[in-house]
């Protein structure tokens, strides 16, 4: 050994190779330096300022250990040059003998660490009755049980977005959004059915729904009838209302409606003589008068007009509110004037253009416009449709109507609404936007779904035809025929007076003639 390569000082044995950073440095107190001086710094884990403890080994360069490294203390460092070690593990202070902790970053088991403190690639198995806790609470997970591939809560209620309900199994605080919904399972619930689905259309496997008001025992229900009809009843048996699918009829108090609306039975009500106070489009101020009344049973009660395009049929006649206490400025009709008015009226015999609804038989009556000229108060102007076109027309381009016989030059002025009927005889109102030519108009609405045709047998088939009834006008004249009856009654009284006077004259003349004959 060359003396130039080794130096021996009191308590120190070192190599001269490397100068200030010798290849080997051995201090008498047990500190060793390899490729550098022996360490003099205090360990990083030693936070005692009065401690004289120093690191024992200082290695500059790579270190290879053939075998195991047994460390009874701790290994410190950033781990950048330590194969297999990334960050420091230390024992936790409460249980130094058994517990360890990770000092920095996140941990990945079976793969890379994620943004969470622990990411496990694979299964997590809790052995020997271990529990998974949330904030130290075991009950969060202890009530959940597994049945095959399903999981369910075996005790208590569930709250989402807030506290659980005290009585119901599930309470959601907020809105529930579902990308699809196949149904609601309701086992052994009376009236609801064993399974209700909500897919393209709601359906139920049972035929009855019931609603019970809590604490009252009052029950109402809806029942699916044998023909696809809906029965709505109160108290499960009475007060039935039926919505009939096999014909589109509605029955109130009957399960076999004979018309679009069939009402069976009556309810008591009182009709007051007087008038109501109206708000909105009506001008002026009206007060309510209730001086007398008529009580009775009725099936339909309306506070406004009841309109029909057909006959008003009554099995017992009709009554009209006519009490003197609802009238004012009462004067007698002058019978002579009434007779003069009656002479101006022109009774007519005629037929209706709308033979489909009105029939083809002759009718005796009046022309409303003529009566209006003589008795203005016996008529009323309203908005109604007139059958001035009344033909089966062709439809093209979904909204162009072409007539066969009607000329557009005969259209009523300022009447831009047409009444049409589709293949199901349903009425529609459409708006004219353009007169195309002598026989065609364009409308705003799409008519494609309303059109059809009639085959050689008279049956409705697919096609491009539509029945056009006519235009809607705002000067349609309605008659109040009770005024004509009044005039006729007054005129008849005048005729009767004149007749009685003539009879008296005739009787007087007959007496005089008899006297003359007796004196001859």
Confidence of residue 186 (pLDDT cuts 50, 70, 90): low
Task: Report the run of H or E that residue 267 belongs to, with start and end.
Answer: strand 267-272
Residue 118 has pLDDT above 60, yes or no: yes
Taking the C-alpha atoms of residue 84 and residue 248, their distance in angstroms, rounded to an integer, is 82
Residue 220 has pLDDT above 70, yes or no: no
For the stretch 344-348, contacts whose Cβ atoms lie closer than 8 Å and that sit 24 or more positions apart, written own/partner, are 344/374, 345/370, 345/371, 345/374, 345/375, 345/484, 345/487, 346/370
Residue 466 has pLDDT above 70, yes or no: yes
Taking the C-alpha atoms of residue 5 and residue 225, their distance in angstroms, rounded to an integer, is 114
* Residue found by looking up tokens 């381009």 in the block: 397
Residue 141 has pLDDT above 60, yes or no: yes
Total-model pTM: 0.50
Confidence of residue 347 (pLDDT cuts 50, 70, 90): very high
Q: Which of 94-98, 179-183, 187-191 has the lowest mean pLDDT?
A: 187-191
Confidence of residue 286 (pLDDT cuts 50, 70, 90): very low
Taking the C-alpha atoms of residue 340 and residue 333, their distance in angstroms, rounded to an integer, is 12
Q: Which of 163-167, 243-247, 360-364, 439-443 has the lowest mean pLDDT?
A: 243-247
| Rounded average pLDDT over 252-275 | 64
The pLDDT, as a whole number, for residue 213 is 62
The pLDDT, as a whole number, for residue 264 is 72
Confidence of residue 65 (pLDDT cuts 50, 70, 90): confident
Q: Which residues pair with 212 in a beta bridge?
A: 219
Q: Which of 371, 368, 432 is nearest to 401 (CA)?
A: 432
Indicate the CATH number of 385-479 among 2.40.10, 2.20.28, 3.40.50, 3.30.1380.
2.40.10
- Calculate the average pLDDT of the chain: 75
* Residue found by looking up tokens 């209620």 in the block: 157
Residue 219 has pLDDT above 50, yes or no: yes
pLDDT: which is higher, 138 or 10: 138
Cα 198 from chain centre: 15
Highest mean pLDDT pick, 47-56, 210-219, 289-298, 369-378: 369-378
The pLDDT, as a whole number, for residue 155 is 73
| Rounded average pLDDT over 416-443 | 93
Task: Give the whole-number percent of the chain exceeding pLDDT 90.
Answer: 26
Domain boundaries, the chain: 212-324, 385-479
pLDDT: which is higher, 94 or 348: 348
3 state SS of 378: helix
Q: Which of 190-204, 245-259, 483-497 has the lowest mean pLDDT?
A: 190-204
Report the C-alpha dihedral over residues 433, 439, 445, 451, rounded to 10 degrees: 180
Tell me the pLDDT tens digit for each residue of 377-424.
Answer: 899 999 999 999 999 999 999 999 999 999 999 999 999 999 999 888
Task: Give the whole-number percent of the chain exceeding pLDDT 70.
Answer: 61
Q: Which of 99-108, 181-190, 382-391 has the lowest mean pLDDT?
A: 181-190
3 state SS of 280: coil
DSSP alpha helix (H) spans, 359-480: 368-374
Tell me the pLDDT tens digit for each residue of 143-162.
Answer: 677 778 777 776 778 888 88
- Cβ-based neighbours of 160, under 8 Å, separated by 6 or more: 170, 171, 172, 173, 174
The pLDDT, as a whole number, for residue 22 is 64
Highest mean pLDDT pick, 30-39, 136-145, 411-420: 411-420
DSSP 8-state symbol, 374:
H
Residue 14 has pLDDT above 70, yes or no: no
Report the C-alpha dihedral over residues 82, 83, 86, 87, rounded to 10 degrees: -40
* CA 462-464-466 angle, 5° bins: 105
């Amino acid at each position: 050994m060359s003396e130039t390569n080794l130096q021996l000082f009191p308590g120190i044995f070192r190599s001269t190779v490397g100068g200030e950073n010798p290849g080997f440095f051995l201090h008498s107190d047990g500190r060793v330096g390899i490729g550098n001086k022996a360490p003099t710094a205090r360990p990083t884990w030693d936070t005692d300022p009065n401690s004289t403890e120093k690191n024992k080994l200082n290695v500059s360069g790579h270190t290879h250990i053939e075998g195991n490294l047994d460390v009874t203390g701790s290994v410190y460092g950033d781990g950048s040059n330590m194969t297999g070690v990334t960050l420091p593990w230390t024992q936790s202070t409460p249980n130094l003998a058994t517990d360890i902790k990770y000092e920095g970053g996140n941990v990945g088991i079976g793969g890379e660490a994620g943004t969470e403190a622990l990411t496990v690639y694979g299964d997590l198995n809790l052995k020997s009755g271990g529990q998974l806790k949330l904030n130290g609470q075991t009950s969060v997970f202890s009530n959940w049980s597994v049945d095959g591939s399903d999981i369910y809560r075996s005790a208590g209620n569930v709250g989402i977005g807030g506290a659980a309900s005290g009585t119901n199994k599930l309470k959601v605080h907020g809105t529930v959004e579902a990308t699809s919904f196949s149904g609601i399972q309701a086992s052994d619930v009376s009236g609801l059915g064993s399974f209700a689905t909500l897919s393209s259309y709601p359906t139920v496997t049972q035929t009855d729904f019931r609603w019970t008001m809590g604490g009252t025992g009052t029950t109402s229900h809806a029942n699916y009838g044998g023909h696809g009809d809906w029965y709505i009843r109160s108290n499960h048996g009475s007060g039935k209302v039926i919505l009939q699918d096999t014909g589109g009829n509605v029955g109130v108090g009957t399960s076999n409606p004979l018309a679009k609306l069939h009402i069976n039975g009556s309810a008591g009500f009182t009709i007051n003589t007087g008038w109501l106070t109206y708000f909105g489009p009506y001008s002026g101020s009206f007060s309510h008068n209730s001086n007398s009344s008529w009580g009775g049973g009725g099936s339909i009660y309306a506070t406004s007009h009841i309109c029909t395009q057909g006959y008003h049929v009554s099995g017992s006649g009709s009554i009209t509110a006519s009490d003197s206490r609802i009238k004012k400025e009462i004067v007698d009709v002058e019978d002579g004037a009434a007779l003069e008015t009656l002479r101006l009226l022109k009774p007519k015999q005629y037929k209706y253009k709308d033979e489909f609804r009105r029939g083809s038989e002759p009718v005796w009556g009046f022309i409303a416009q003529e009566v209006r000229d003589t008795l203005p108060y016996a008529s009323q102007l309203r908005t109604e449709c007139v059958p001035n076109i009344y033909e089966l027309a062709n439809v093209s381009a979904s909204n162009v109507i072409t007539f066969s016989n009607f000329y557009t030059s005969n259209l009523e002025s300022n009447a831009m609404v047409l009444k049409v009927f589709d293949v199901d005889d349903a009425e529609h109102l459409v708006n004219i936007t353009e007169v195309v030519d002598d026989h065609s108009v364009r409308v705003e609405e799409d008519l494609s779904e309303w059109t059809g045709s009639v085959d050689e047998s008279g049956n409705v088939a697919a096609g491009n035809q539509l029945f056009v009834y006519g235009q809607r006008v705002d000067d349609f004249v309605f008659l109040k025929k009770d005024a004509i009856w009044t005039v006729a009654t007054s005129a008849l009284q005048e005729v009767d007076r004149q007749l009685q006077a003539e009879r008296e004259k005739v009787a007087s003349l007959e007496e005089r003639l008899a006297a003359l004959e007796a004196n001859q």
